[in-house]
Structure 1
Amino acid sequence: MSYNTVYDVIVCGGGTSGVSAAISAARNGAKTLLVERLGALGGQMSTSGPPGFAYARLFNPQGKRDVGGIVEETFQRLLKSGHALPHLRYPFREKAGYTFSYVDPDWWTMLIFEMLEDEKAELLLDTLVVGVTKEKDTVTGIVVENANGRNEIKGKIVIDCTGEGYVSAHADCEMACVSREDIQPHTLSFTVDGVDWDELLQYIRNHPDQFSYKQLIYPCNDSNMEDIYKVYSTCHDITEMGEIMGFYELRDMALKNGDWHPYSGAGFFLTPKEGGHIQAHFQHSSQVDHCLPTDAWDLTKCMVECRKQNMIAWRFFKNYVPGFKNAYITKVSTELRLREGPRIVGDYVLTRDDVEECRQFSDTIGKSSFKAGSYHVASMDTLAVCAKYRDDLAYPKDGGSYDIPYRVLVPKKVENLLVAGKCVSTDRPAYLRYLHQTMVTGQAAGTAAALCVRKSVTPRVLEKDVNELQKLLADQGAILYEPTES
């Protein structure tokens, strides 16, 4: 396709929000182009993130589903083809802070390519967006660089799904970001196979006090610790765990021997492969402070240091943890998982209080029940090896869900630009960085963009009447109002 083609919708970034936006825009009749700087799609699901954790929190602690749409559609398609496991809804998770729905990340990525092709969305891979074209405050297209050189591509609506708001910054949007000194640490994940799960589970059953339990029951407190210990002391199915964090005595022993790094706790998520095979996916084992995702020198430093820390973490598991004697690394991610970055300032800023109060909005485009709260990793000088939460931590009251308003997708002052994914408009504690949240906002942004083109209005004008947008989203399976019973 020629660079002279004018697209209805240009989606910048092919991560979880970007692919959801592109599928939705094309599905709703827009001539859509998805531009991605890598040769791969999927972001958190393929190149950087924790796929074992990918579809967590599709149900709130009341046991009600509050996430649907493309998230559930892809899950069901993979489940039907044998590349996912059923929603993890064991009785002891009825009030869980997390639920897990395992999908095979490699098959998920292949499915996404198939869905984009089915919807006739066009792809431009290995292409970096280096600028935007504007007429006054209105975005008219993007500037890209790739093997063909530097070119402009025109679009009626542009969606920034870059994660770190790079396109929004090029468009001179107002942005919010923490300082280098205070930013959350980023990670480089790796995946492991060959674990003897029976041996590991035997250790877990014999040492239930050596693990973290917040992923099992919400709220986690002294009154239900006996029930939680029972879960660990009787578990014979590794998929019931979802994630395994702790190994406190083993970690402390390694610390004394100089065999553990001073940046985080020990643990991993689980990720499925074909035939019910389970692998260990390490995400929180290597962390580096003080790296801005908007600085290439910082990113380079972080990538180098994370690889060193990964090897320290891996040697710990090989030498100290039962079940890992014959295990081996199968994959090291090619990109950092960037835990925090710039956010746009939109027509509404979702706040910590909105999350805590389970606030509802007339312009809702989806829901979430994930907690609010920024955090940093404490120094090992205090032996606080796990994430140390700030005072801004907040859980949605009564285990409920809060709305995500359409206005967080619309940047102030700049026209014909929408934002989805991590860089939508929130305060720091309410940061919507988790995979299911990015897909919810991506689906909404893509649908809204197509609707704007159809009605010949700007995204800001669409704010005045979102009824048609909400109907389209609901028809596509998105959950906007009352969460459904499990």
Structure 2
Amino acid sequence: MRNKGWMRWAVSGGLLVVLVVAFIFIKKIYPYPTTVAKMDVHPYEAPDLEEQYDVIVVGGEPEGVAAAVSAAKNGSKTLLIEHRDGLGGLFTYGALNFLDVSYDKNQKWANQGVFLEWFKLTGSRIGFDLEDAETAFMQLVQNEENLTLSLNTKMNNVVKDGNALTGIVLTDESGEQHTISAKRFIDATQDADLATAADAPFFKGGADIGLEDRKMAVTLMMHFSNVDWDKVQKAAKDGVFGGGEVTSNVAWGFSDLHYDYKPVNPQTRLRGLNVVRQDDGSIYINALQVFGINGLNESDKQKAIQIAKEETKHILAYLQKEFPGFEKAEIESFPPELYVRETRHVKTEYQLPMTDIWENKDHWDSIGFGAYPVDVQATSPGDYGYVISKPEQYAIPFRSLIPLKVDNLLIASKAAGYSSIAAGSARVVPTGMTLGEAAGAASAISIKNETTFREMSENKELIKKLQDTLKEQGANLYAFDIKFPYEGEWFYENTKPLINYGLVVGGYTNEFPVNKPISEVSFSNLLTNGINRMMPDQASQYKMQEMKKLIDEGKDVLTGQQAAQMLLVLNGVSVSEEEAWNTAIEKGYIDGTLQQRIKPDSELKGSEGYYLAGHMLKQLKNKAEAGTSNFLYQLLLCF
């Protein structure tokens, strides 16, 4: 075998863990029936729209279907509008048909309720048939007599009374414009289109960690016919392209394709394959990544589709030659839409931080669980992404659905109130459908009790009513208390900002190298990356380049004296190496806790380096915030 270098070994090792986790998931899923339930739907007919509804849901994504169904179940006259000609959004138009599922602490489905109802209708398969998926969404909608569906309907504008959203302006299938009012609204669009139109505050990409221009890879699913599934199964067992796992209709793995396939367009890359076999024998593959695409720019997205279509032809030719089972394969079709992983994040009453996920945290106003790994996708051909942690289970609070500054509106999508890092776990569709179901039920409860969502979020009696309603609908919801890695450890509190800003990575095992020596380079990276992410506007004030000049690239360890000098230089303080330790203590850079643990000549372990870096970054963050507050105060004095 050709030597592909250490990076291949590292990435393949990480992917092996992914395969093992996925294999466990699938083995747990298959106790459910694998035959599609009988579905009874009638042809869609454009409705006669009324002027007033109780609840309007914008977006026929899976989350929107769950929201509308839940609102209608609870007695609200509900309107679901969708700009496409069918339901399912990312699943059916983006052809993303391999489910990201997870389990709670009891090894039961983390997300149940409407999601599980839909899942069973499609045959209880982790890789589902697209036609079955769309039919199942339609059946769920048509089963609710309080629910009106309007397809091919475009939202043009919103109507507000102060901060309260009171109506939307839309164009229906016939081209007629309507202004329709409602008591409550739910935004289930991929990009928070309704919230944005209503002037709810949001941030893009990784702006909350100083990475606003971060663009995760987008994907166009590949659809091939004439693939010999028996040969694919044998190839997986024989170790072709690193091998993989195969069931009756899904296959995943083949991680050597990361390296063995050389893209024609350098803006693309092929990952290992996630393959789903459809009922007609054709297959969809999630593997082709396109980089540098702005998911909010329509011309950018169309460009990505064209790039991916061309690259798909080259990929097919390669697979025909190198992958058993693909010899006679042909391109069957191209999906009309991309899989875009990240665009907007709406600012809400509670912005779920990464530490909540790390700590397996419960909330008193929990409306559902997340448990999927925190998966940060690649942003360039040389970046393979990473997993920050694998939570056991965490709660999503109702407050994370309530946007700031806009009343009568809830967010039920991947754009809900998560930090950009926490969204790496919470953005998956099963979790989103849990949010949608909660948003629908909450809308009905708030209407019946004549209270706003914000008021409701402070009312323990109404939150309990919401939780009881969700349980009655089959949701998985209960109080819990789960231990987490490094809980109670002396260094953990100072490590929390490093976790929240994505500066440390625990992977699937939730382990930091706390007992291994930390190098000067690693310590320097924690500080510089921390400053750039936590206080990007003030980053130029600090002597990061001067600090890096102190680094001895040949050293794998960091002593207390060296760390002290690096902190001083970073803050523009020049002293001799012999004076560094005491000077850093005088300035508060090294606190009493660390003084008891290390000496100037001590070699720092990861725990001590994390503690020291976190302590320094918190000081700098507080200083930056105090400076901003003082500036605003002085500005006010001028008037």
TM-score (norm 2): 0.62
Residue 481 in structure 1 maps to residue 473 in structure 2? no
68, 76, 86: which is aligned to 1:22? 68
408, 430, 447: which is aligned to 1:416? 408
Mark the CA change 1:356 to 1:279 in structure 2 (over 3 Å): closer, same or farther.
farther
**Alpha-carbon contact 2:291-2:381 (below 8 Å) kept:** no
**SS of alignment partner, residue 443 of structure 2:** helix
**Alpha-carbon contact 1:268-1:281 (below 8 Å) kept:** no
Mark the CA change 1:253 to 1:169 in structure 2 (over 3 Å): closer, same or farther.
closer
Residue 280 in structure 1 maps to residue 283 in structure 2? yes
Residue 244 in structure 1 maps to residue 253 in structure 2? yes
Determine the C-alpha separation between the residues in 1 that align with 2:451 and 2:430: 28
**Alpha-carbon contact 1:3-1:152 (below 8 Å) kept:** no
**Alpha-carbon contact 1:173-1:411 (below 8 Å) kept:** yes
Determine the C-alpha separation between the residues in 1 that align with 2:135 and 2:203: 34
Residue number in structure 2 paired with 1:45: 91
268, 277, 290: which is aligned to 1:263? 268
Determine the C-alpha separation between the residues in 2 that align with 1:142 and 1:456: 21
Determine the C-alpha separation between the residues in 2 that align with 1:241 and 1:4: 44
**Alpha-carbon contact 1:410-1:459 (below 8 Å) kept:** yes
**Alpha-carbon contact 1:59-1:66 (below 8 Å) kept:** yes
Residue deviations 1:309-336, cap 9 Å, x none? 2223222222221110122333321111
466, 469, 472: which is aligned to 1:472? 469
Determine the C-alpha separation between the residues in 2 that align with 1:245 and 1:407: 41
Matched letter for residue 467 of structure 2? Q
Structure whose residues are more often strand by fraction: 1
**Alpha-carbon contact 1:287-1:309 (below 8 Å) kept:** no
Structure whose residues are more often helix by fraction: 2
**Alpha-carbon contact 1:36-1:124 (below 8 Å) kept:** yes
**Alpha-carbon contact 2:266-2:381 (below 8 Å) kept:** no
Residue 357 in structure 1 maps to residue 383 in structure 2? no
Residue 108 in structure 1 maps to residue 139 in structure 2? no
**SS of alignment partner, residue 265 of structure 1:** strand
Determine the C-alpha separation between the residues in 1 that align with 2:181 and 2:473: 28
Residue number in structure 2 paired with 1:69: 113
Determine the C-alpha separation between the residues in 2 that align with 1:419 and 1:427: 14
**SS of alignment partner, residue 122 of structure 1:** strand
Where relative contact order (Cα < 8 A, 6+ residues apart) is larger, the structure is 1
Mark the CA change 1:378 to 1:446 in structure 2 (over 3 Å): closer, same or farther.
same
Residue number in structure 2 paired with 1:306: 308
Aligned residues: 422
294, 297, 316: which is aligned to 1:295? 297
**Alpha-carbon contact 1:210-1:247 (below 8 Å) kept:** yes
Matched letter for residue 138 of structure 2? F
Determine the C-alpha separation between the residues in 2 that align with 1:313 and 1:209: 14
Matched letter for residue 390 of structure 2? Y
Shift of 1:478: 0.7
**SS of alignment partner, residue 246 of structure 1:** coil
122, 136, 142: which is aligned to 1:117? 142
Determine the C-alpha separation between the residues in 2 that align with 1:460 and 1:4: 28
Residue number in structure 2 paired with 1:169: 196
**SS of alignment partner, residue 219 of structure 2:** coil
Residue number in structure 1 paired with 2:439: 445
**Alpha-carbon contact 2:110-2:370 (below 8 Å) kept:** yes
Residue number in structure 1 paired with 2:456: 462
Residue deviations 1:341-397, cap 9 Å, x none? 1011000001111111111001111111112243324435xxx6xx322xx82221x
Shift of 1:135: 0.2
Determine the C-alpha separation between the residues in 2 that align with 1:475 and 1:240: 33
Determine the C-alpha separation between the residues in 1 that align with 2:74 and 2:371: 28
Aligned sequence identity (%): 25
Once the two structures are superposed, the pairs formed by residues 49-198 of structure 1 within 5 Å of their partners are 49-51=95-97, 53-54=98-99, 56-60=100-104, 63-79=107-123, 84-85=124-125, 101-120=126-145, 121-146=147-172, 147-178=174-205, 181-198=213-230
Determine the C-alpha separation between the residues in 2 that align with 1:302 and 1:268: 19
Residue number in structure 2 paired with 1:429: 421
| More divergent stretch after superposition (151-160 vs 173-182) | 173-182
**Alpha-carbon contact 1:23-1:119 (below 8 Å) kept:** yes
Residue number in structure 2 paired with 1:217: none
Shift of 1:57: 1.8
Residue deviations 1:53-108, cap 9 Å, x none? 12x324258733322111111222333xxxx44xxxxxxxxxxxxxxx34323112
**SS of alignment partner, residue 264 of structure 1:** strand
Determine the C-alpha separation between the residues in 2 that align with 1:4 and 1:44: 28
Determine the C-alpha separation between the residues in 2 that align with 1:344 and 1:445: 15
RMSD: 2.5
Matched letter for residue 455 of structure 2? V
Matched letter for residue 347 of structure 1? E
Shift of 1:286: 3.3
TM-score (norm 1): 0.80
Mark the CA change 1:343 to 1:262 in structure 2 (over 3 Å): closer, same or farther.
closer
